[in-house]
Amino acid sequence: MTANIYPASSPETQISHLFAIIGQPVRIQILAIIGNEPACVCHLEAVLGLRQASISQHLMVLRKANLVTAQREGRNIFYRLVQPGVLAVIEQAAVFAGMTPGALSALALRPVAGCPCPQCNPGIDPELSCNTLSSSKSS
């Protein structure tokens, strides 16, 4: 068993469920980002510019579909791909849409300017955590 989207369904239903789940720009971005390397929620928050709750909701959808998995590391919870093959599906769609094959990975490297997560700022003062930097960035 490779993918566990929706077992015990017709093939077209299984496939369409996958498409319905990744048929949302934010979720494609999330998959591209954490496909590049595991990321915490605050990293996604900084990169995508969305509210934390919204991202958590999308992550919940991806979790229930067994596309991503969560793992706590210190204060943060890092998400990673369960099945990297999902990127091949997205990449195939990117090619179909006339994009260069590298356009997908470019999604993962966009506006990481003021990202506060400990992965982006390894030796940073722990006082300056995600929320601190996020609020100071918007001020």
Q: Does 12 bind DNA (CB under 7 A)?
A: no
Which residue from 67, 76, 87, 91 is in contact with DNA, where contact means CB under 7 A? 76
10 Å CB burial of residue 103 (0-12, 13-18, 19+) is middle
- The interface mask with DNA, positions 15-54, x = CB under 7 A, is -----x---x-x-------------xxx--x----xxxxx
Q: Does 101 bind a second copy (CB under 8 A)?
A: no
- Answer for the pair 46, 116: CB distance below 8 angstroms, yes or no: yes
**From start to end of 26-128, where are the E strands?**
39-40, 68-73, 76-81
Q: Does 82 bind a second copy (CB under 8 A)?
A: no
Assigned token pair, 47: 């990169």
Q: Which residues bind to DNA, rule: CB under 7 A?
A: 20, 24, 26, 40-42, 45, 50-61, 70, 72, 74-77, 126, 129-132
